[in-house]
Amino acid sequence: MSRSVHLGQETPSVPTKVPTPRHRHAAPSAPWPFVDIEDEVDPNRIEDPDSHLVLSAAACDHKQTPEQEVCWCKYPQSLYPNWTPRQQKKAKLTKVLEKRMERCTVHYLDVNKDGTFVDAGKREVNDRTVDSHWKAIQAGRPQCVHIRALFVEGLSGNMLQILGTRYNLEPFFFSSTIGWIPSRHRSNVIPCESDHITITLTFIKPLVNPIEVLPEAPTDSPRKKEWVIDTRAPLNLRSNNFMLLADQLAVHMVRSRSSNTIISLHPNEDHKSTSAKTLHSRVHAAGRSVYWGNILKDSSDPTFVLLSLLWYALYAWDEALEHLYNHICFLETEVILTNDMQLTHELHVVRAHLLHFESLLEDFRKTVEFVQGTPNPSVQPREGEEVGEEYKRSREIMERECGNMLTDIARLERSRDLQDKRVKNVMDLAFSMVNIEDSRRMQKLTEAAMKDSAAIKQISYLTMAFAPAGFVAAAFGMNVTELSPGSYGTLAHYFATAIPFTIFTIWIIVAYQIQIRDPRSAEGLLQEEEEPVESKDLGGLLQNPQVAAFRRMDFWERLWWPAILVSTMMERKKLRQELRKAPPSFTFDHL
């Protein structure tokens, strides 16, 4: 694919492809987290279930609160003993835990009980401020705060353990985020009190290509790295200098009667995913919306804030499909104008991504249905209490808003289906035009062959014109006594030698080429008949007309072909006479 890079400047980084998700390790319902079939189960966990206590009791330098039994730095085995170091390494948690010294930024956003959104600032968490941040996150919130949202930029090891310990997060949330594993599950459910919801959703968003791509037809070999069909890699749209790449929403929500918390992780800088600052500002702007402000005033359900996060994914999907539609229109024009076979490979790449988008949109739809079908236990009436008007109103609004989002997702699915059909139509058009071009070339080759045939025929005529003169020259050049006195040969010697050799040559040629019809077949019997003779069976005298009409001859029969030919003609004549004498009752229409 043709590329043009601005020289004299630093080459911008290109987003890397996302890893292949391992769906079997997506939720706590999987009993063996990151233990595959070929992996060996840790024998220490089976023989000594309390083997993790030694690690949890190890001394550390972190300051702890009075009610704290185990330091947060012992997470995840302090709360989830089945997550052994071997499993943490395979889940890529160890890689994050080793980055304790790296900086992590947390953007805070508070939603008050009156439905107003307040920017609570941001905190830089590093090795020096980690203790103060632990105390701050342990401290209570103002009475007016109903929901607190944390947008974590650049997940460090300290921040992972602090969040996991403070909010009792399943390690699956972090492993699914790091490994790009789509997940949605509910945990820690206390009826009519609280629960935890985890959502990791992969979606597609458009991004301006950091490397400028000229909209030229691809002329290089399709073996280039950019032309490898990999749906995990970004899809370059050379028509408008955009790329479609995978992005991720990684959200964990704690819903309870006392407080509600939303945690959004943004650890993937190499993939150019949405930053914590961007999503923080988007949710803050949603709180300024009159429509969503009225919803949060009418309902105390914090799930609506989670729903606003899902709208960000829907916006990204809509823009991505819009850019892809324009690119497909560009490819249609390219196919018609250039008729380049290399474009078919680019069309295959686009269609492979469209098929991948189908599964992602299906996962998006199931995520919204999951949110719709998971009511908030903190707003549900306790046992013995009547269902209040607020709960009914919240459920009605939730059904309505989820229905609106599902309608838009269905529209996106229809748009994707339409684009897939258009790409298929363009591919068929490309192949049809190639076939038409091949037909034109074959026609030109046929015309050239006919011209060559006419030239060869003219040469043959020219040779025939000089054949008599050549024969006369050869005859007068013979060394015979009639033409050259004193010679030993005569014309009699010449004819005595030439005639037998000529006859022998003709005999051999005819022996290998002759085909004699079988006189007992209907075709052989009726051959060379001036008037059609009605075929009669004569009690099996004739063979089945479906059998081949030519008789089979071996090597010796072919050498004696004149005798075979004469005998066949005599036998055929005899059979014709018998057919004329046969009664009409022996006539069959199928002969």
The pLDDT tens digits of the residues spanning 156-191 come to: 888 999 999 999 999 999 999 999 999 999 999 999
> Same domain for 428 and 561?
no
Q: What is the pLDDT of residue 63?
A: 66
In a domain, 534, yes or no: yes
Query: Residue 47's pLDDT is what?
Result: 64
The token duo for 54 is 């030694």
Is this model's pTM higher than 0.85 or not? Answer: no
Classify residue 241: in a domain, yes or no.
yes
Would you say 216 and 239 are in contact if contact means Cβ atoms under 8 Å apart? no
Residue 406 structure tokens: 């599902």
Residue 183 domain-assigned (yes or no): yes
| Residue pair 375/395 in contact by the 8 Å Cβ criterion | yes
- Say how far apart CA 480 and CA 489 lie, in whole Å: 5
What pLDDT score does 50 carry?
58
Alpha-carbon gap, residue 104 to 269, rounded angstroms? 12
Judged by DSSP in three states, 198 sits in: strand
| CA-to-CA dists, residue 505 to 153, 370, 516, 554, 561, angstroms | 96, 92, 20, 19, 14
Distance CA 537, CA 208 (A): 86
pLDDT at residue 37 tops 90: no
Indicate the helix (H) or strand (E) that contains 190: strand 183-190
Helix H segments across 100-170?
A: 130-138, 157-166
Are residues 549 and 542 in contact, defined by beta-carbon separation less than 8 angstroms?
no
Q: Where are the beta strands (DSSP E) in 385-477?
A: none
What pLDDT, on the 0 to 100 scale, is given for residue 314? 97
Beta bridge partners of 255: 195
Q: How many CB atoms lie within 10 A of CB 540?
A: 8
Strands 145-153 and 260-266: parallel
Of 436, 469, 502, which one is at a domain's C-terminal end?
A: 436
A 10 A CB-CB count for 12 gives 11
Q: Is residue 239 assigned to a domain? A: yes
Q: What is the three-class DSSP state of 563?
A: helix
Q: What percent of the chain is predicted at pLDDT more than 90?
A: 31
Query: Mapping DSSP to helix (H, G, I), strand (E, B) and coil, where does residue 587 land?
Result: strand
Minimum mean pLDDT range among 13-22, 218-227, 467-476: 218-227
Q: State whether 282 and 154 are in the same domain.
A: yes
Q: Are 529 and 404 within one domain?
A: no
DSSP β-bridge partners for residue 202: 248
Query: Is the pLDDT at 217 greater than 60, yes or no?
Result: no
Q: Which residues contact 56 (CB under 8 A, 6 or more apart)?
A: 70, 74, 77, 78
Which of residues 6 and 261 earns the better pLDDT score? 261
Check pLDDT > 60 for residue 64.
Answer: yes
Same domain, 432 and 535: no
∠ CA 484-489-492, nearest 5°, is 110
Burial class of 203 by CB neighbour count within 10 A (0 to 12, 13 to 18, 19+):
buried
Q: What is the mean pLDDT of the chain?
A: 81
| 473, part of any domain | no
* Domain termination residue (choose one: 400, 421, 436): 436
Radius of gyration of the chain (CA): 44
Summarize the confidence of residues 241-269 as an average pLDDT: 91
559/426 same-domain check: no
Express each pLDDT in 256-314 by its tens digit: 988 899 999 998 677 788 999 999 999 999 988 889 888 888 888 999 999 999 999 99
Residue pair 122/106 in contact (Cβ under 8 Å)? The answer is yes
Our measurement of the distance from residue 3's CA atom to the centroid of its chain's CA atoms, rounded to an integer in Å, reads 24
On whether both 526 and 431 belong to a single domain, the answer is no
Backbone angles phi and psi of 269, in degrees to 5: -80, -30
Number of H helices, E strands in the chain: 16, 8
- The whole-number pLDDT of residue 372 equals 94
Q: Does 559 lie in the same domain as 423?
A: no
**Selected residue with higher pLDDT from 575 and 261:** 261
- CB neighbour class for 348 (10 Å; exposed up to 12, middle 13-18, buried from 19): middle
Alpha carbon distance 349, 186 (integer Å): 37
pLDDT at 535: 42
User: What domain range includes position 427?
Assistant: 89-380+390-436
Domain contains 223: yes
Q: Which helix (H) or strand (E) holds 255?
A: strand 242-255
- Asked if 408 and 518 sit in the same domain, the reply is no
349-364 per-position pLDDT tens digit? 999 999 999 999 999 9
Based on the fold, state whether residues 188 and 315 are members of the same structural domain. yes
Asked if 122 and 108 touch (Cβ cutoff 8 Å), the reply is: yes
Tokens of 375: 């009511």
- Residue 46 binned pLDDT confidence (cut-offs 50, 70, 90): low
Number of Cβ atoms within 10 Å of the Cβ of 62: 16
**Residue 314 and residue 227 share a domain:** yes
Predicted confidence band at 530 (pLDDT cuts at 50, 70, 90)? very low
Least confident stretch, 2-11, 161-170, 420-429: 2-11
- Do 129 and 221 lie in one domain? The reply is yes
Cα–Cα dist 23/4, whole Å? 39
Structural domain includes residue 69: no
Using CA atoms, how far apart are residues 263 and 351, in angstroms rounded to an integer?
35
Cβ neighbours of 501 (radius 10 Å): 9
> What pLDDT shows up at residue 206?
94
Q: Whose CA is closest to 433, among 570, 467, 441? A: 441
**Domain count of the chain?**
2
Checking if the pLDDT of 92 tops 60, the result is yes
**Structural domain contains residue 541:** yes
Look at the block and give the residue holding tokens 């007992």: 520
- State CA 236 to chain mean position distance: 15
Tell whether 401 and 528 lie within a shared domain.
no
Whether the Cβ atoms of residue 287 and residue 117 lie closer than 8 Å to each other: yes
Q: Given 3-state DSSP classes, what are the helix, strand and coil percentages for the chain, each rounded to the nearest 5?
A: 50, 15, 35
Give yes or no for residue 397 having a pLDDT over 90: yes
Q: How confident is the model at residue 53 (pLDDT cuts 50, 70, 90)?
A: low
Mean pLDDT to the nearest integer, 406-433 = 90
Give the N- to C-terminal CA distance of the chain in Å, as an integer.
Answer: 68
β-sheet bridge partners, residue 203: 247
pLDDT-based confidence at 541, cuts 50/70/90?
very low
